[in-house]
Amino acid sequence: MPMADEAKPTRVAVVQLCATPEVNDNLATVERLVKEACHQGATVAFIPEAFAFLGPEKIKSTILESLPEDPDATGGPILERCRRLAREQGCDLVLGGFHESSDDPAMSYNTCLHLSADGGIRARYRKIHLFDVSLSDGTQLRESSRTLAGNELVTTELPFGTLGLSVCYDLRFPYLYQSLVDQGAIALTVPSAFTATTGAAHWHVMLRARAIECQSYVIAPAQHGHNWGKRYSYGHSLIIDPWGEIIAECHDGDGVGIAEIDPARVLQVRADLPSLRHRLSI
């Protein structure tokens, strides 16, 4: 765990893919793209929400896995495949949306998971805000019908410093990110599977807003394309610096975006424009 004075510039990657109901195909794509990112020098790879499966709930219930309380204990086949990838590549993985089982067999958690380069579980965050909407294009999504909400903010440590964890719909709730900054975060991750409709309208502007108001890097790996049925994801995985500038973007298709997270840049922005210090409780 790096101390503030030990944090260092770190090359990271956002991974963009189009997950479907085919778990093995999805994981093969993740493996290919993480290897590509590491070949380009990334030492941390960020994977989108629902990276292993995006499809009907009745199928998802068959691939749920528990996460061991002992961070180094053996888990299910999806977890172990991801751990093997982290070890083989010597790369930390932030798995954006792991389908974690619960005590209720009909319900699961949408969990952001940090695996270290040795494959150990270093942090787990259960998505707090669940996506229940009816869109004008006819899309109806009721995440809460099969997903339990988390209730705890989570940060984790990487070579660049403290990372605040979130998942997708959390993006619409600025107080969550401000609280993560209060806990020391200099970077925030928003792994997502934004719909094509909401993504086109809000994705870039909200991510840039979170970066600007929190004066933090925002790292947002995303799903793209036709996942299944009527489900289409927006894509445009992004890395944004603490001034709100986009420094990496994947537009269409599978791919990786690479950028450097520099803790000194955060300190500079926060010193030049000390808005975080000017916040008031009203």
Residue 2, pLDDT score: 55
Residue 227 lies in a domain: yes
Domain count across the chain: 1
Residue 277 lies inside a defined structural domain of this protein: no
The predicted pLDDT at position 1 comes to 46
Q: Spot the catalytic one: 112, 168, 214, 250.
A: 168
For the chain, give the mean pLDDT.
Answer: 95
| CA-to-CA dists, residue 275 to 47, 146, 213, angstroms | 31, 40, 8
Q: Does 146 fall in a domain?
A: yes
> At residue 196, does pLDDT exceed 60?
yes
**SS3 of 214, please?**
helix
CA distance 166 to 176: 8
pLDDT digits (tens, 9 = 90+) for 105-125: 999 999 999 999 999 999 999
Active site residue 91: no
**Residue among 127, 214, 249, 250 flagged as catalytic:** 127
Round to whole Å and give the CA distance between 102 and 109: 7
pLDDT of res. 137: 73
- Compute the average pLDDT of residues 127-141: 83
Please check the confidence at residue 59 and state whether its pLDDT lies above 80: yes
pLDDT in tens, 80-99: 999 999 999 999 999 999 99
Question: Which domain range does residue 193 map to?
Answer: 7-272
Q: 142 pLDDT band (50/70/90 cuts)?
A: confident
Q: Which neighbouring-strand residues pair with 44?
A: 12, 92
8 a catalytic residue: no
- pLDDT at residue 3 tops 60: no
Among candidate residues 49, 100, 214, 250, the one labeled active-site is 49
- Report the CATH number that the domain containing residue 41 is assigned in CATH: 3.60.110.10
Would 1 be classed as within a structural domain?
A: no
Residue 49 annotated among the catalytic residues of the structure? yes
In the DSSP assignment, the letter for residue 17 is B
- Cα-Cα end-to-end distance for the chain: 35
